Structure 1
Amino acid sequence: MKTLTLPGTDISAPNVVLGLMRIQDKTDDEVRALVHAARDAGIDFVDHADIYGSTLHGCEERFAEAMALTPSERDALTIQTKCGIVKDEGYFDFSYEHITSSVEGSLRALRTDRIDILLLHRPDALVEPEEVARAFDELHAAGKVRAFGVSNHTPRQIDLLKKHVTQPIVANQLQLSITHAPLVAQGVAANMLAEDQSVVRDGGGIVDYCRLHDITVQAWSPFQAGFFTGVLLGNPDYAELNAVIDRLAARYDVPPIAVATAWITRHPAQMQVVLGTTTPQRVTDAALGSDLPLTRAEWYELFRTAGHIVP
């Protein structure tokens, strides 16, 4: 498993992460089997959010109940969670009160004394960055949160936060797969007036911005064909792409899902892939793409057969 040190922190992290948004209804044995498969593959980083599950903090609580981590087992894991979405009411909230109360709820649910990384989940149009800064300062000073980041944020939204927030923004979790890749594809087709791919949709070069500012991109839904429209692997709508994936899987002697993982981890931005599966074998198989050495030609062939323009 390839690892990286998250810029601005002392956190050593794998480039494949276990996302736990779907474990609410899993048994203790099922949760443990999933986490143990990840650990066996070298994944010691888990991703949560306060809204994951059928109840607030539901998946965080389910994880803690099932794992019953000892202090040493807790120390061996990097636990990331998110806040800012008020799901039942249908709005976003980056107020000081919401951020701090959400963290307290996550700490109780996870049965831990600190969150390693806290992400602001989706941009709040009513954000007051001074409020975010006050919450971050207090949480960091109290040792309740070690590092901070964002999710689904544009460069300018991050700049607005950074005007007041003193802690480094260490991560930005964004949707990215071979087929859902506007944040990569736009730059390839820049200055092509007639092509939809050239349209800027992420606020202007979010991947390049993150590289320039030492922010780790975390790719969520790495196997989704579109925005929750089904997986790309084995999808007849992407027959040409899957033929290439299958050929490369045979060449490297890995499952196809490892090739889809590798398309992201091959990028020099040192991205992390956030797995959302609850099937232990899929975790094991996907993790094999962590350091798969796709060539430039192979990476672009996957990109092109996914339907993106390579001028």
Structure 2
Amino acid sequence: MSKSKLPLHHHQIPASPLVLGCMRFGGDWDGLPITEDLVMEGHKAVEAALEIGINHYDLADIYTRGKAEYVLGRVLSEQKSLRNQIILQSKCGIRLVGDDEGPQRYDSSGKHILASVDGILKRLGVEYLDILLLHRPDPLAHPQEIGDALARLHQAGKVRHFGVSNMGSEQIRLLQLHSSVPLIVNQLEMSLDKIGFVEAGVTVNRPQAKENVFPYGTMEYCQAEQIQLQAWGPLAQGRFTGRVIDGQRPEIEDTAKLVQRMAKERGVTPEVIVLAWLMKHPAGIQPVIGSIRPERILACRDAANTELTRYEWYELYSASCGRRM
């Protein structure tokens, strides 16, 4: 089973194989104030994550319009020893619709990156982030300007490590050419439903390649450069673990039956099988579990200790893509 390979600060504990995605912390995406019930909900989610060994927490400045960071900040303030036991990761670079300066858009300007980090630290109530990710590729981004901003944040002690989200290999390569600090993470949507990361390699020189939007070569580039791949949406919104979603691909039902069968044979939850499929990939994928429900988090307990056979991995992949190899 793959392990996290993040080259973190020397006194930092190793990153756990799973990450808790905190997008749902803070309730709805509205302007309503934080309630004590939301804070308690955050406490329970963190307790469940800690129980199964998760010490890595993923946020973004836009999650529930900043409330997600504020709720986790409250949890940290009420459990003083927790900050030194966990890895805090957040993202910036998206401006939501409704701000005073225009439409919803991406913004990786140096000014916005610097201001965003100050806001993140304030909401979390901490002095530094372990990892900052650039949330989406900004077509108006100036790589040197980004590199200068990241260097300033690092020199000021506000951010220890950096990465990206939703970027292909050439976008990362360009940024790295203009940055004195290494980019150590790339977070992408990957799951048994979103199998483009596998298809990009498997369909080379085949007609199916033109149907795949996943950036070819990104998995290989990240492996070669020791960039930690993180998977957002790894549980595919419960498609393989009991939830029926209107309009989903017909292959989902067959794949879900296989997941259920394998889970029963091994005496584990279906969530474990879905995550173990991702984690068998030699790139060392780190799934980001996007749930605030303790029972959903706890259902992932055995993922890092469950090894699928090559046969089982291909059986699930073939079912999901709906064709023979």
> So what's the TM-score if we normalise by structure 2?
0.88
- Inter-CA distance 310–284: structure 2 relative to 1 (3 Å threshold): same
C-alpha deviations, 1:98-144, integer Å up to 9, x for none?
Answer: 00000000000000000000000000001101111111111101111
In the TM superposition, what are the counterparts of 1:121-270 in structure 2 within 5 Å?
A: 121-193=135-207, 195=208, 197=209, 199=211, 201-224=213-236, 231-234=239-242, 237=250, 238-270=252-284
Contact 1:31/1:67, CA 8 A, preserved across alignment: no
In the TM superposition, what are the counterparts of 1:13-162 in structure 2 within 5 Å?
A: 13-25=15-27, 27-53=38-64, 55=65, 57-88=66-97, 89-162=103-176
C-alpha deviations, 1:258-298, integer Å up to 9, x for none?
Answer: 10011111111111100111210111112321231101110
Q: Distance in 2 between matches of 1:283 and 1:198?
A: 36
SS in structure 2 opposite 1:287? coil
Residue 34 of structure 2: aligned partner: none
Post-superposition shift, 1:207? Answer: 0.9
Moved more, 237-246 or 123-132: 237-246
Residue 297 of structure 1: aligned partner: 311
Moved more, 289-298 or 43-52: 289-298
Contact 1:82/1:120, CA 8 A, preserved across alignment: yes
Contact 2:2/2:282, CA 8 A, preserved across alignment: no
Q: Distance in 2 between matches of 1:131 and 1:308?
A: 45
Post-superposition shift, 1:223? Answer: 1.9
Post-superposition shift, 1:200? Answer: 5.1
Q: Distance in 2 between matches of 1:201 and 1:224?
A: 18
Contact 1:16/1:273, CA 8 A, preserved across alignment: yes
Task: Provide the aligned C-alpha RMSD in A.
Answer: 1.9
Contact 2:162/2:184, CA 8 A, preserved across alignment: yes
Contact 2:2/2:284, CA 8 A, preserved across alignment: no
Contact 2:4/2:16, CA 8 A, preserved across alignment: yes
Post-superposition shift, 1:61? Answer: 0.6
Q: Which residue identity lines up with residue 82 of structure 2 in the other structure?
A: E
Q: How many residues align?
A: 303
Gaps of 5+ in 1: none
Contact 2:200/2:216, CA 8 A, preserved across alignment: no
C-alpha deviations, 1:230-268, integer Å up to 9, x for none?
Answer: 734335642211111111101211010110011111111
Q: Which residue identity lines up with residue 68 of structure 2 in the other structure?
A: C
> So what's the TM-score if we normalise by structure 1?
0.92
Post-superposition shift, 1:198? Answer: 5.5
Gaps of 5+ in 2: 28-36, 98-102, 245-249
Contact 1:119/1:151, CA 8 A, preserved across alignment: yes
User: Sequence identity, in percent?
Assistant: 36
Moved more, 299-308 or 1-10: 1-10
SS in structure 1 opposite 2:191? coil
C-alpha deviations, 1:47-69, integer Å up to 9, x for none?
Answer: 0000001x3x2210121124425
Contact 1:261/1:287, CA 8 A, preserved across alignment: no
Q: Distance in 2 between matches of 1:298 and 1:67?
A: 41
Moved more, 6-15 or 108-117: 6-15
Q: Distance in 2 between matches of 1:223 and 1:3?
A: 19
SS in structure 2 opposite 1:143? coil
C-alpha deviations, 1:23-54, integer Å up to 9, x for none?
Answer: 1125222111110000010001110000001x
Q: Distance in 2 between matches of 1:308 and 1:187?
A: 17
Q: Which residue identity lines up with residue 4 of structure 2 in the other structure?
A: L
Q: Distance in 1 between matches of 2:173 and 2:23?
A: 28
